Amino acid sequence: MRFIGRIIVLFLPLMPRFFIRWISKRYVAGETLVDALNVMESLSSENTCFTVDVLGEEINNILEASYFINEYNNVLEAIVEKNIDANISIKPTALGLLLDKNIATENLENLLNKAALNNIFVRLDMEDTRVTQPTIDLVYEMHNKGHKNVGTVLQARLFRTPEDVVKICSKLGHNADFRICKGIYLEPNDIAFTTYQDIVEATNVTIDSMLQKGAYVAIASHDEPVINHALNSLIKNDMGPKKSDPRDNSGPKLNGKGNGYEFQFLLGVRGDKRRKLAEEGHLTRIYLPYGSRWYEYSMRRLRENPEIATHVAKAFLLPWTNRR
């Protein structure tokens, strides 16, 4: 099946747009907020929660940020109105981080204020290494201003990540809140691991470090070796379903948060595993993207992560084995 997935990626440039649209329907909730709300409603019975991402990232003009600000404001209002168990994920470059840091900071702070009114958490997605440190610095600045409802993503494939974990936990204490993933942005081998096994091992080491340092850890992986390692690490830290967090976490618990950890899955990927973990009592969250830029998002996902194409092949050839 993986071979078929690689073939799909190889022929991506030749695939018509309608075929990419068919693929994206599994992993993208739709083009509008209404589409996203409908998908969340359909999946809410599966004992899961959500993080909503408005598709799009680096903007070319600071005025383009207004689209994302307006859309995220609408998302926050809809989450409250519909009483959905969800938070939001934002790419800092969509708010203008690479164009005008002051404006981007103001844009983010306004969204954090609105989210805080209803105790909603905001995740800053991690993009390529041009903005790794600026994104972390943005989290520091927001916490220094009293905004505790924000955390970031770290990519385990980067050599710098273990040191970032130590620094962030040292500065933020029990307010340190991570999503840890392998990282979808392909980076050169002088700053990042490039082989599957090395990346998996780096992810496992990072999960252990985050848990040991008392951070909230959102484990975002579809890989069985990572999920199994995380489950074993939770046991070693005396953490798990129906257990209070034994670590020194005295801060207030935000809406929708688990007892120190959660598992996250991309919409349309490993639904079987997500449901199993939820049945066992673990908090699970679906990363749910939507927006008009579905084509660019889908192409990047498929090019940079052939495993997604493998799931596409399975959905096409064996649909009864791969429920969303």
Please state, as a whole number, how many other Cβ atoms lie within 10 Å of the Cβ of residue 157.
24
Separate counts of helices (H) and strands (E) for the chain? 12, 8
The catalytic site residues sit at 125, 179
Q: 123 by DSSP, 3-state: which?
A: strand
- CB distance 50 to 266 below 8 Å: no
For residue 263, give the H/E element and its range: strand 261-266
Token digits of residue 287: 């990363």
- Computed from CA positions of residues 295, 297, 300, 304, in that sequence, does the dihedral angle turn out positive or negative? negative
Query: CA-CA distance, 193 to 208, in Å (whole number)?
Result: 18
Which residues touch 235 (CB under 8 Å, ≥6 apart)? none
Residue with token string 């830290």: 237
How far is residue 173's CA from residue 153's CA, in Å, rounded to a whole number?
16
